[in-house]
Structure 1
Amino acid sequence: MEITENVSKLVKPSTPTPSTLRNYNVSLFDHVSMNVPLILYYYASHKKQNGIQTNMFIDLEISLSQTLTQFYPLAGRYKRNALFIDCSDEGALYIQAKARFQLSEFLDLKKDLKHDMLQDFLPYDIHKIGEMDDPLLSVKVTTFEDGGVAIGMCISHHFADMTTICTFIDNWATRSRLVDNELELKLELKKYSPVVSSCAHLFPKADALDTKNLDATTVNNNYILRVFSFKGSAIEKLRQQVMSDENSIIRHRPSKVQLIMALLWKAFVDTNKANGQLNASLLHLPVNLRNIVAPKYFCGNFFTAANTRIEASEAINLQVFVNRLNESINKTKVKFAKVLSHPEINWDVLLEPFLEVINSDAKVYTFTSWCKFSFYTADFGWGKPVWRSIANVKVPNAVVMMDDKEGDGMEAWVHLDEKHMCELEKDPNIQAYMDA
Structure 2
Amino acid sequence: MASSTILSRKMIKLLSPTPPSLRQHNFSFMDCINLPQYTPIAFLYPKPENYNKNQISQILENSLSKVLSSYYPFAGRIKDNNTYVDCDDTGAEYLNVKINCSMSEILNNSSNDAADVVFQQDLPWCSTLNRSPLVVQLSHFDCGGIAVSACMSHKIADGYSFAKFINDWATTAQHVDFKPSPQFNASTFFPLMDGGPNIMSINASPESQRHVSRMYNFSSSNLRRLKNSITGIQNPTRVEVATSLIHKCGATASMENLGLFKPSLMSHVINLRPLIPLDTIGNATCVYSTIAMTENEIELSNYVAQLQNIKQQVRNELKNLDMNQIVPYALGKMKGVVDMMEKDIFDIYLSTSVCNFGLYSKTDFGWGRPIKITYTKYPMKKSFILFDDPSEEGIDVLITLPEDEMLIFQKDKELLEFASPIVQSIK
Query: Structure 1 length normalisation: TM-score?
Result: 0.87
The alpha carbon displacement at 1:337 in A equals 2.1
Say which of 371, 379, 388 aligns to 1:403: 388
Q: Which runs of 5+ in 1 are unaligned?
A: none
Q: Deviations over 1:213-247 (max 9, x none)?
A: 1355654362110112222222211111113xxxx
% of aligned pairs identical?
A: 25
The alpha carbon displacement at 1:432 in A equals 2.1
Q: Which residue identity is paired with 1:355?
A: K
The alpha carbon displacement at 1:44 in A equals 3.8
The alpha carbon displacement at 1:366 in A equals 1.0
Matched, 1:175 2:163: no
Matched, 1:145 2:142: yes
Partner Cα distance (2:278, 2:297) in 1? 41
Matched, 1:134 2:131: yes
Contact kept in structure 2, 1:33 and 1:215, CA below 8 Å = no
Q: How does 1:166-245 map to 2 (within 5 A)?
A: 166-178=163-175, 182=176, 185-186=177-178, 189=179, 192-197=180-185, 199-205=186-192, 208-211=193-196, 213-216=198-201, 219-220=204-205, 222-243=210-231
Partner Cα distance (1:346, 1:113) in 2? 41
Contact kept in structure 1, 2:128 and 2:153, CA below 8 Å = no
Contact kept in structure 2, 1:33 and 1:129, CA below 8 Å = yes
Contact kept in structure 1, 2:38 and 2:128, CA below 8 Å = no
Partner Cα distance (1:212, 1:323) in 2? 29
Q: Deviations over 1:363-415 (max 9, x none)?
A: 22111112221221211010100111000021111101122223332222111
Distance 1:43 1:238, change over 3 A: same
Q: Which residue identity is paired with 1:85?
A: V
Q: Counterpart of 1:254 in 2: which secondary structure? A: coil
Partner Cα distance (1:328, 1:25) in 2? 33
Higher mean C-alpha displacement, 222-231 vs 380-389 = 222-231
Distance 1:369 1:212, change over 3 A: closer
Distance 1:304 1:224, change over 3 A: same
The residue aligned with 1:102 is 102
Query: Structure 2 length normalisation: TM-score?
Result: 0.89
Distance 1:346 1:101, change over 3 A: closer
The residue aligned with 2:397 is 412
Q: Which residue identity is paired with 1:39?
A: A
The alpha carbon displacement at 1:74 in A equals 0.4
Q: Counterpart of 1:211 in 2: which secondary structure? A: coil
Matched, 1:285 2:252: no
Partner Cα distance (1:54, 1:418) in 2? 41
Contact kept in structure 1, 2:197 and 2:335, CA below 8 Å = no
Distance 1:313 1:410, change over 3 A: closer
Q: Which residue identity is paired with 1:169?
A: I
Q: Counterpart of 1:159 in 2: which secondary structure? A: coil
Contact kept in structure 2, 1:367 and 1:399, CA below 8 Å = yes
Q: Counterpart of 1:70 in 2: which secondary structure? A: coil
The alpha carbon displacement at 1:86 in A equals 1.3
Task: Tell me the number of residue pairs that the alignment of Structure 1 and Structure 2 aligns.
Answer: 408
The alpha carbon displacement at 1:211 in A equals 2.9
Contact kept in structure 2, 1:28 and 1:204, CA below 8 Å = yes
The residue aligned with 1:60 is 60
Q: How does 1:284-433 map to 2 (within 5 A)?
A: 284-291=267-274, 293-312=275-294, 314-315=296-297, 317-339=299-321, 341-343=322-324, 345=325, 347-360=327-340, 361=343, 362-377=346-361, 378-433=363-418
Q: Counterpart of 1:139 in 2: which secondary structure? A: strand
Q: Which runs of 5+ in 2 are unaligned?
A: 422-427
Matched, 1:88 2:88: yes
Distance 1:12 1:144, change over 3 A: same
Q: Counterpart of 2:320 in 1: which secondary structure? A: helix
Q: Which residue identity is paired with 1:407?
A: E
Q: Deviations over 1:45-64 (max 9, x none)?
A: 2556xxx9962212211211
Contact kept in structure 1, 2:106 and 2:114, CA below 8 Å = no
Partner Cα distance (1:326, 1:17) in 2? 44
